[in-house]
Chains A and B, each alone.
Chain A
Amino acid sequence: MAEPIFDDQVPLYELRDTHVRYRTPAGQVTAVGGVTFDVAARGMTVLAGPSGSGKSTLLRVLGLIDRHTAGSVAWQGRDIGRLSHRARRAVRRERIAVVFQAPPDNLIGHLGVAANLTAAAQSAGLPDADPEILDWLGIPGTGGWRVSALSGGQQQRLAFGCALARSPAVVLADEPTSQLDAASAALVLDVLRRLTERGVAVVAASHDPELVALGDRVVHLREGRIDEVAA
């Protein structure tokens, strides 16, 4: 019998003394220098901190995009450091949705709005996206539009719609409001809140106070280390 891929009684992530180091022409750089915390299977966790604090790096590790270089990171109790490329892809495909900082980076530009939702659903093995998603995002009637016809805020909301269309266990969002004006950011925050209400875990990296305020748990980072964990 196959091992279950998701159990909401188990923390999504367990990080223990996790390090991430990069090699650069100037030498080795420690982006994350030994962090230990858990991410619950429900609610919103915010990685907060100033630029260069390691929050985006940590988010990429959680998204199984980058690998940690020391310590351990467990996904649903399994050490992801030991997972093969194929297994990591399977976890990303079936359980994780990532929303990048720049809205256009989350969408396929040559596909229309509805097609982007369909593509997102198909990438997780689902036949199609929930037809109500556009209404839920507050951009009804835009299914036939080109992506470029949407504003930046609408594009970022559509990015979360695509994430939702994949029915993930967790949505990882990297600075989702940093490139938006206040009104658009507010709409995105609303989407994030409603995502958590639907039972989807959200991990967001941000230094936006309003987003930080939304977090059920806030992990404050400074220079790659945990400064404070607030509930």
Chain B
Amino acid sequence: MQLPWRAAPRAAVSSPLTVLVAFVAALLLSFVGAAAVLHADSAGSAAVAYQAGRLCGQTVPPVVDGNRVSVADAGDVLRISAEQGRAAGFGTVIGAVYSPVRQWDFNGPHPWSQFGYRDGALDNLRVVEGGSRDGLWVPRSVADDAGIKIGDRGLNGTLPPVTAIYADVSDPVPAYWCSEQQRIMPNPLATEGATAAVVWFPTLDSFTASMGPVSGNAAAVSVRFPAPTPTTTDEAAALVARGKTVVDGVTSQLRARDKARLVIASNYFAKPVEVAHSAESTVLGAVLPLTVISLLVGLAGVGAVTVQWVQRRHAELRLLWARGAGPVALGWRAVLELAAPLLLGAAAGLLAARLTLPWYAPSTALTDGTVGVAALVAASVLVAALLVVGAVTAARTHREFQAGSTRRTSRVWRFVPWELITAGLAYLAWARLDSMPTKLQFGQPLPQNADAVGLAFPLLVVLTVALVTVRLARWALTAAHRADLWRAPAVHLALRRLSAAAGSAVGILLVGTLAVGTLTVGVGVAAAQSEALDTKSGLFVGAESTAQIPGRVAIAGLPPALAQHATVVGVVKTGQSIVLAVDPATFTRSAWLGDRDPDDVAARLSTLAGPGVRALRVGSTPDAPAELPRVGAVRPVGQVASFPLIGTGRGYVVSRASLPDPEQIDVWQVWSSRSSAELVADLDAAGIHHLHSRSKALALDGLPFLTVTWTFDFVTALGMVLAIVAAAALVLAVEVRRRQNALAGALATRMGLRQRTLVASHLTELGALAGISVAAGSAAGAVCAAVSAPMLDPSPWLRPVAAAPNLVPLVSTTTLVAAVVVALVCWSAVRSVTTARVGELIRG
């Protein structure tokens, strides 16, 4: 290799600005490419975590359940399941077997109870009395009801003695018990004998010996294979694969013994894993268009850096060409000089994408090899950037030295109607969104994922608006050659400078509008979906948490500790509507009101006091007195558009105090502003039986909302990157023309141009670019967010439909930041004029 090529890497240090710009361009390029990969994988991990979080941890791995089996068969199921589980790598297998619920004899008393054995059960109970592990452990509720004491022996003395009394397991149950909750927790509101707390045997053998002869074929068996909760899609897929091995093994073994019908072996997490994979690919597909656009913008930036480099190295390139070097060799020369900053930039971008993952991605858990894929993408982007450097240099030197042409082929691209192309694509995305909406069907257990093409609609609209803005700006700047605005010298000078640098001006406009537009639409749609999920969940549940309680407790009133954060609500569901009987005094501080003013709600509820049953009608409920089942005659005295639990559907809200017969109410619930765990703890502490506890956080399957939110969170991140690029381009545009501007400005001020006019001209020039970018981008982003948010709502059946939030604070912040950037760049430009030494500038 000849010396100029060998020395090229060291030559880079002679132009630090070019090195810096190349470094930053590669950093942003690599960041965008790598972050897209990491973000999509992170979305898969977040989807896995979200779905695993909604399930009991013990049902994420495979489960084996059987009812109506003999104790002997249950033993076989336990043994086979344990063998298969261990063979599939499940180190711990928890088997359980239960007797039927009966009024078992305890030497006199016959409490409803059941007997059971579960591996490790005694380690997960809180002993109230006794505690020896060689006898039966009786729940306190059973012991209290039947007067059972330590040492008692049931079934005519055939059972082991009672050696411990333990505190009943309550809802929400500890993780160890979560899969057994329905079986081991008595339901005081259910039919007598349907459920009962469990009297635990210390060993499986003792259970088998005692219960085998008396259980008949009415025993139940469950086997769990606890495993660490998977954090990534790969881990989840591996767990599901192992689970399938267990399910297949257990089924085939039992089938060989003709006992396959006894149990159901299931792999519940298989579908969530599919959904997580789907969410991952949806997010990737949705962010891909903007990622590609951002990469193209970045590569265009690398091209601009190269053009500047060619200008800077023009003499050397001409010399080498005159000595016989061809365009390809000169392109290679450019690559060798700019490779180091580009390589370092790409590495820094990859590192930044990995380190800032918590800031822009929904999860920090990544599938093995994802960072490798991101590195591969970053490397590909680097190669693309190097190709751009080589190709641009080769093309420029060929055109200038070899072809001897001054004609710019780039002008041809101006005549391509890009905005029409993107508008067409936006229309296709709109049609897709309209015809294949991303809607979750009511009652469907698993969500359909958002459609990637549909999700691209807002971005394509923003891109179209940016391109239209650029087209109009270019026409305006071309026409500005004829404009004579010397009566406003600042405007005239600004216009002349913009016209003279029309290429960079429209480039900044394109990137700036795209940046502000994507930021606005990203924040708008992501916030709309988050708020929609929160609002729908709140309306769906009614409060942060709820639980069903016995009517007598509700009618008597809550104890003071609970009343601080909870209220009692009676619920009557008829075919057409829901009637809520509320306590106006405590309702507003306990129910979920969203962004409603609690005082307003309290004022409306206060109208319910008075003679008869006064009602607030909800939604489109007729404004006429009505006869309601279990409530009687009600007289509407007001109307609200929506109400917790009723939503925007039909219904009435009445005062609990006005009910003629509260005992007629179907269901009484306690609504709390605190979490489900806190509510349950307080109910338990107050000795109030409860069931059907619900939490706003888990009320709805939020994955479809989250998929949209994650997608537009990344759009926001890309918008921020583009905004940085736009700001850097503004700085560079001024820096590149620094000498020229300094000379012109310095001469003009010496000819009488006032300093404030000079400042005003720069403010006008830079402010016009920033102002148009902010105005066009914000308008496009806000309109797109408003239009797209309802269409991207995954569950429009649950009102209210997602709507764009108030974007004024965001637009204000964007405007403020743009103003600061303009002020700083303006200061730099004016300073270069005021400090210029004209003599040196003229001498060149």
A-to-B contact residues, CB < 8 Å = 63, 65-67, 85-86, 89-90, 92-94, 97-98, 100, 102, 104-111, 115, 118-120, 122-124, 166
Contact = CB atoms under 8 A, between A and B. Distances in A.
Given A105-B319, A109-B14, A123-B320, 15 more contacts: A89-B324, A92-B322, A92-B324, A93-B325, A98-B323, A100-B319, A105-B318, A108-B316, A109-B316, A111-B3, A111-B4, A111-B7, A115-B7, A123-B325, A124-B323
Contacts of B326: 85-86, 89
18 contacts: A65-B322, A66-B404, A85-B326, A86-B326, A89-B326, A90-B324, A92-B324, A98-B322, A100-B319, A100-B322, A109-B316, A111-B7, A115-B3, A115-B7, A118-B3, A123-B2, A123-B325, A124-B323
Contact of A108 (B319, B322, B324, B404): B319
Interface string B2-41: 1110010011001000000000000000000000000000
A93 B324 contact: yes
Contact of B4 (A92, A93, A119, A124): A119
Interface string B610-643: 0000000000000000000000000000000000
Nearest to B316: A108
Nearest to A122: B2
Nearest to B337: A110
A27 to B, nearest CB: 14
Given A115-B7, A118-B3, A123-B2, A67 B323 contact: no
A122 B402 CA distance: 22
Q: How large is the interface on B (under 10, 10 to 19, 20 to 34, 35 or more residues)?
A: 20 to 34
B401 interface: yes
Nearest to A110: B11
B426 to A, nearest CB: 39
Contacts of A123: 2, 320, 323-325
Interface string B555-574: 00000000000000000000
B190 interface: no
B842 interface: no
A118 B1 CA distance: 12
B315 A105 contact: yes
Given A67-B404, A90-B324, A106 B319 contact: yes
Interface in B308-366: 315-316, 318-320, 322-326
B821 to A, nearest CB: 34
Interface of chain B, helix or strand or loop or mixed? helix
A32 B4 CA distance: 35
Residue of A67, A85, A123 ringed by the most chain B CB atoms within 10 A: A123
A145 to B, nearest CB: 16
B323 A166 contact: yes
Nearest to B403: A85
A67 B401 CA distance: 11
- Can you list the 4 inter-chain pairs with the closest CB atoms, starting with the nearest? A93-B324, A123-B323, A119-B3, A122-B2
Contacts of A94: 324
A111 to B, nearest CB: 6
A106 to B, nearest CB: 6
A109 B14 CA distance: 9
Given A104-B315, A110-B7, A111-B3, A120 B323 contact: yes
Contacts of B404: 66-67
A110 B14 contact: yes
B4 A108 contact: yes
A184 to B, nearest CB: 19
Contacts of A166: 323
Interface of B: 2-4, 7, 10-11, 14, 315-316, 318-320, 322-326, 401-402, 404
Contacts of B7: 110-111, 115
Nearest to B15: A110
Contacts of B320: 123
Contacts, number: 62
Contacts of A86: 326
Contacts of B402: 85
Given A104-B315, A105-B315, A111-B4, A92 B14 contact: no
B322 A63 contact: yes
Contact of B2 (A66, A89, A107, A119): A119
A65 B402 CA distance: 7
- Give the residue among A86, A110, A124, A166 with the most B Cβ atoms within 10 A: A110
Contacts of B4: 108, 111, 119
B319 A65 contact: no
A166 B402 CA distance: 22
Given A92-B322, A94-B324, A110-B10, A122 B3 contact: yes
A90 B325 CA distance: 9
Which residue, A66, A89, A106, has most C-beta atoms of chain B within 10 A?
Answer: A89
Given A105-B315, A109-B14, A119-B3, A65 B324 contact: no
Contacts of B324: 89-90, 92-94, 123-124
B197 to A, nearest CB: 86
A174 to B, nearest CB: 11
A183 to B, nearest CB: 22
Contacts of A109: 14, 315-316
Nearest to B406: A23
A98 B321 CA distance: 11
B7 to A, nearest CB: 6
Nearest to A106: B319
A104, A106, A119, A166: most-surrounded residue (chain B CB, <10 A) = A119
A115 B11 CA distance: 13
Contacts of A108: 4, 316, 319
A123 B11 CA distance: 18
A105 B316 CA distance: 7
Contacts of A110: 7, 10-11, 14
Contact of B401 (A65, A90, A97, A100): A65
Contacts of A98: 322-323
Contacts of B316: 108-109
A108 B11 CA distance: 10
A77 B324 CA distance: 20
A115 B3 CA distance: 7
B728 to A, nearest CB: 26
A110 B18 CA distance: 15
B16 to A, nearest CB: 13
A75 B402 CA distance: 18
B245 to A, nearest CB: 65
A102 B314 CA distance: 13
A6 to B, nearest CB: 15
B4 to A, nearest CB: 5
A93 B319 contact: no
A93 B318 contact: no
Nearest to B13: A110
Contacts of A122: 2-3
A106 B316 CA distance: 8
Contacts of A90: 324
Contacts of A65: 322, 401
A106 B318 CA distance: 9
Nearest to B3: A119
Contacts of B325: 89, 93, 123
B325 to A, nearest CB: 7
Contacts of A106: 319
Contacts of B318: 100, 105
Contacts of A104: 315
A85 B4 CA distance: 22
Contacts of A111: 3-4, 7
A127 to B, nearest CB: 11
Nearest to B401: A65
A157 B323 CA distance: 18
Contacts of B14: 109-110
Contacts of B11: 110
Nearest to B2: A122
Contacts of A89: 324-326
Contacts of A97: 323
A105 B325 CA distance: 16
Contacts of B401: 65
